[in-house]
Amino acid sequence: MTWNYTILLVCLVLAIFAVWREIQRESKRNLALRIVAVLCSIGALACIALPITYQHELRLEDENQVVLLTDGYNADSVIDADARVYTISKKIKKDYPKATLLASVSEISDLKPAVTSVQVLGYGLSADELAQLHNLPVKFHPTIPPAGISAVSWNTQVKSGEKLSVQGTFANTTGKAVKLTLKGLGTTADSTFIAANTTATFDLNTTPKHTGRAVYRLISTSDADTLANESVPFEITAVKPLKVLMLAAAPNFEDKFLKNWLSANGYGVAVRSMISKDKFSQEFVNVEQQSLQHLTTGLLDKFDIVLSDLDVLKNLNSAESAALKQEVQQKGVGIIVRADSTTHSNFWLQQNFPVNKVSSAGQVISSLKLQGHDGTTSKTLLDPVYIVAQNFTQPLVTDQQNHIMASSGLIGSGREIFTTLTSTHSWMLGGDEADYTALWSLLISKAAKHVPAAEEWSVVNNVASVNNNTKLQVETGVANPEIKINQTNISTERQAHLPFAWQADYWPSHVGWQQVQQGSGMPHWWFAYPQQEWAGLKYRALLKESNAYATNHHNGVSVTKQIQQKVQVPVSKIYFYVLLLLACTYLWAEGKFSS
């Protein structure tokens, strides 16, 4: 636009000067014709320099299609020898020399004559690239999705002691079985096989023994051939030791073993056991000593979890019960309640967990199934008292008959774990510490007080690759967050539908971990993959996005729309060159013969 204004200004000044010169000539013969010729010559020069266009209404016979080749295209599918073929890939240009290389998809809209629709061959385009077509109709000719991993997910944030779980779907189109191996730190963590000519799910697990950031490998092999070798980045964070307050009616073996296990695993433990009315014994391990004589909101706020029997909690005095209820419902303190009775009441900690006794006989022997764990525990003695399933609760532990032995539910801002398991120390007596650890780790992790993060980071892209545009999103209460990626300031854009969410675009220049930070907050990390990794996931994402665009912008709807629209057609410069030549010829002849 600045160039156009400059040309017009120069030509205007030149026209004024030329007309003034003609008027100043002594001979007034043919003055009007000379002025017209001067203005025509200057106007012709301006039209040659400026992009002069006119509006033209497209008709059905004016339809002009182009072919765009993308990764995965089949050269045999380009059957029209006269088709205008384009690509944005240098590799495709090398393999198919007839294609014209474009710098970006947006150049299609600028092609002359105007493009009315696009035939896209191959895996298709990304959402950002499709947006550059400016709603041009597209007919998509997709390639068959590639074999291999078609979907995958894993927990990128792993707490120390938790399992890394890599789950997904693998399409094996070969006649041989494919082995999937999860490797980390030079050793095989887990593996599985996908049968020939099948599509199956896989679930690979391992419990890392280290902390910090790590990159494991997910390797697909068939016999001696390596089909894929993909990065699996994740970060292991040390668990902040939780503080547990145990309230007991009297010293007992169950609480003694649990206190010892908690302290041995780094938990802070405070135990209050009743000796007589209003008199208590107090024990402290890995936690500062303080009076437990009276439960107050200030005291309870120093703990993450309160653990006690239901009868003990029912017998708290009114002040202590009110303080506990306030801390659980309003401050998010977790609570684990043990019950061995079928007596039901409207007590606030029992309302959501009705219990039932299914047998009049004594204890039964059964193994247990723990949420998130494969297989079952070793067998143990159980009271035949079970929790009745409710829509708003989540079973955590079941027996062999799927009776619920432990369940969780929200209670205000906190979470309650209700269990009928009252003799878990029998595992420790039998030397089965693994099952004991698995059970109590599950119950405590589910009950722990949740501290909301000041900000939540996520990578919007399906796979963030080096030298490709990556969209990052942060959810924060900061009005105008200042984002830095690898110590470089990055501009952000607020999301209209989520006013607390901001997105930033970034092109990582190196493979590996990238640091992102909001203001002076804690740095977070995300991973940029090599271009060639997770190709199957990338191509499937392109197929999905391109199919969606083609469905919403197909030819059947767009032809009529194009007929009703007008396009800008450039005026041929030859007309202005002829006009300039005629005007200059007249001025030369008039000046020569008039003198």
Q: How do residues 239-274 score in pLDDT, each as one tens digit?
A: 788 999 999 988 889 999 999 999 998 899 999 998
| Residue 278 placed within a domain | yes
Span 162-187, pLDDT tens digits:
889 999 999 999 999 999 999 998 89
Span 357-416, pLDDT tens digits:
876 667 888 999 999 887 899 988 888 889 999 988 999 999 998 999 999 999 999 999
**Predicted TM-score (pTM) of this structure:** 0.68
| Residue 322 placed within a domain | yes
- What is the tally of structural domains in the chain? 5
Q: State the CATH number of the domain containing residue 174.
A: 2.60.40
SS3 string, 340-403, reads CCCCCCCCCCCCCCCEEECCCCCCEEECEEECCCCCCCCCEEECCEEECCCCCCEEEEEECCCC
Q: Note whether 319 and 418 are same-domain residues.
A: yes
Q: Note whether 443 and 472 are same-domain residues.
A: no
pLDDT at 229: 96
| Residue 332 placed within a domain | yes
Greatest alpha-carbon span in the chain: 134
| Residue 70 placed within a domain | yes
Which residue shows structure tokens 């938790």?
A: 162
Element (H, E) at 81: none
Q: DSSP strand E in 242-367: where?
A: 243-248, 268-276, 279-285, 305-309, 334-338, 355-357, 364-366
CB neighbours of residue 260 within 10 Å? 14
> CA torsion sign, 248 to 253 to 259 to 261?
negative
As a whole number of angstroms, the distance between CA 108 and CA 66 comes to: 9
pLDDT at 342: 63
Burial of 308 (0-12, 13-18, 19+ CB in 10 A): buried
Q: Note whether 185 and 260 are same-domain residues.
A: no
Q: Decide which of 85 and 450 is more confident.
A: 85
Q: DSSP strand E in 107-147: where?
A: 117-122, 138-142
Which residue type sits at 380? T
Domain boundary among 238, 262, 297: 238
The pLDDT of residue 570 is above 80: no
Short-list 57, 56, 68, 77, CA closest to 133: 68
For 177, the domain range is: 167-238
Check: CB of residue 459 under 8 Å from CB of residue 470. Answer: yes
As a whole number of angstroms, the distance between CA 435 and CA 431 comes to: 10
